[in-house]
Amino acid sequence: MKTFLYSLIFFLIVGFGLFGLLVSFFNNPTALLVQLTIIAAVIAIGLLLFRRLANGVGNGERARYRKAAKLSAKRRKTALSGRKTRGLNPSKLKVISNNPHRLRGYAHHHGKDHGHLTVIDGKKNKKKKRVLF
């Protein structure tokens, strides 16, 4: 029932607006065109100002994301180009002896390299609003 009432009110307002535009168009078309031009100019200037002001707000977080994305793409690109050209270079091969004393001190498990991941500082101090019972 509510949606019907809201849609009825909406269509009545739109209908009266169109009726008013038609009446003013037939009575004085030049004044209507001047009014529409002024309204369009005010809306365009308002949108430009809004976009310019909106880009300044929250730009730090967006800038950090863009920087991290560029670094990630750069690392991925260098990794792919390194895989294509990488071959076995005998001068870089290392000879490991079979000495058991030497193997004990050698760490067999190294942590994975997570060089492709970048930490983006978020809003750490912002506390979530929770309802306490």
pTM of the full predicted structure? 0.37
User: What pLDDT score does 94 carry?
Assistant: 67
User: What pLDDT score does 83 carry?
Assistant: 56
Question: Which tens digits make up the pLDDT trace of 91-112?
Answer: 666 666 666 555 555 555 555 6
Q: What is the mean pLDDT of the chain?
A: 77
CB–CB of 72/118 below 8 Å? Answer: yes
The Cα 61–Cα 88 span in angstroms is 43
Identify the CA nearest to 77 among candidates 117, 119, 116. 116
Question: How is residue 105 written in tokens?
Answer: 């001190």
CB–CB of 49/57 below 8 Å? Answer: no
Per-residue pLDDT, averaged over 15-23, amounts to 93
Residue 14 pLDDT exceeds 80: yes
CB–CB of 88/44 below 8 Å? Answer: no
CB-based contacts of 72: which residues, under 8 Å, 6+ apart? 116, 118
Report the SS3 class of residue 49: helix
The Cα 12–Cα 9 span in angstroms is 5
For the chain, percent of residues with pLDDT exceeding 70: 56
Residue keyed to tokens 């001047």: 34
Residue 113 pLDDT exceeds 70: no
Name the band, by pLDDT with cuts 50, 70 and 90, for residue 64.
confident
